[in-house]
Structure 1
Amino acid sequence: MQFYLATSFIFPRSLRFRLFTLCFLTTHLPLLGYIVWGAATGRIAWAEFIVLALATMAGAAGALIGIGALLDPIHALADALDPAEQSARKRGGPTLPEVGDIISRLFHGVRGAAVATRERIDELNIAANEDALTGIANRRGFLAQLDALPLARRRGCIAIIDLDHFKQVNDMLGHDEGDRVLADFASRLSSQTRRIDIIARWGGEEFAIFYQDAIEDEASWSLARIAERMRREPVGMVGDQPITFSAGLCAWRGGPVMTAIGQADEALYRAKKSGRDRIQRAERPSTPVYG
């Protein structure tokens, strides 16, 4: 790059002419030496000089053709990677010099490819951590968000929620209606929880909520409020019955998160066995971390 910048005064807008000049000078150094020697000794042979000059010019021209052929793939790569350049050409606007700024074109092309790659990686990361149907986090995204919390913020309550008799929704109303119910329920959870709370589709018709910095009474009250609204303004009906949910709730004080989730899941199982449409607390809190 330093050599490129140092020689930019030679045909600054044409890399090919700059290369030709450098090739001509370097291939004619022996000829220039011969001229200096002939002038000093008076023994220059003009016939040999002309033949040698023509031969070196032909060599320089051949070298330039070869270099041009080697640069053609770079042109193609720059055109393929630089959508801004192509857009400018279509609009008839100013474009980069055809050859003189080949380094700039290549740089912009590679930068464009890097931006596109980074955006694609971001899209893949979102897809890996987000549930496509509901738009909220999936199980992996939920656990990743919990893992990203500082130790002091890893305390609150974890709830595992399951829509009651959801199989009947799919069997009686169809899977499209089942998908709509899941999406509407996710929206309801999002609208009735705090910004600091983390919600996710845990899998199938199960959802998870982390109530950050909340005690069990606060989390239980929040779930009860959502459950009451589900009865008054159901997201769907099966027969003449509104779709309800059951939930298991467990306090989490920074211990192994899967232990707390397991205890919440056990509480959910007891809620289901007790008749559904209810909230059950875990029998014991998760193991705390001391120190």
Structure 2
Amino acid sequence: MVNSNTALELRERIFWVPTDLERLPTHREWKERLYAGIISLARTIMQAQGLRITVLGAENIPADGGAVLAMNHTGYYDFILGGVPAYLRGKRMVRFMAKKEIFGNAFIAWLGKKMKHIPVDRSAGGSSINIAVEALHDGNLVGIFPEATISRSFEIKDMKNGAARIANAADVPLIPMVCWGSQRIFPKGGQKNLGRSKTPIIMVVGEPIPTTGDAEKDIDAVYFAMKSMMEQARELYDDRFGPFEDGLAWRPASMNGTAPSLEEANRMDAADRAARAARKAKEAERQAAIDERKAEDKLAKRAQKQLKKMASRARKDQK
């Protein structure tokens, strides 16, 4: 449980942690110079933004060895914030699983590969699971957003069971995490606030969820743990940084905010998926038409070439 009476101390001008959080020596992962440089840059940007990030329960992340970190997803900043608790454990690094479309750009794909992030092909997820299990066996922390997409409602959505399957297959801890406040910086479909906003953020890391081999049962345990942790984080947030007015866009409908309800957000997500599918179908149809024209042009050129040969032979025969 977390409460407003927890004594905190400031570290690195940005992270507020319990005074008894152990300071660990720098992990060997920090020798990965590219990833270390990216983290240092992200930390500098967050300091410039004036973010105040409170992290509770970071001690639940192992100081060494593999673990699956399952985190809620309320904004695009979560890929940065998701690595903060691990950073506080001796500058450990998180290898995130993300849909392969994010790695579509050649430079981003190169960066992702160098930092050992894991692209996920939703049409063939088995290969991604195998890569994640191998990464965990190598002693890495693997970060997963089991909701699969950003929650527009800012509530915990239904979850895919991949995180539980991966943790069980690799025999590593399955650790739930929640973040509250990141939706105020860069939400999906909402107003960005990337300047010096001085936005407070609370992150809570829970105790590991035992895996049983029943992926649905295990992910349900993760879901209920994250729901409970989120309620605590919200209460603490309001207590420490409130009061906040009703009707704010970054607050869920259940907290008198103007964000869509979970049901409305699910309908919006379904509409987005349908629109993407329609665009893909249209693009596939357009590409098929292009391929058909190319094939026809190729056949026409062959026919013209053949006719020229026949005409040349006919002229020779006439001579």
Range of TM-score over shorter length:
under 0.3
TM-score for the superposition, normalised by structure 1: 0.26
Q: Larger % of helix: which?
A: 1
Larger Rg: 1
TM-score for the superposition, normalised by structure 2: 0.24
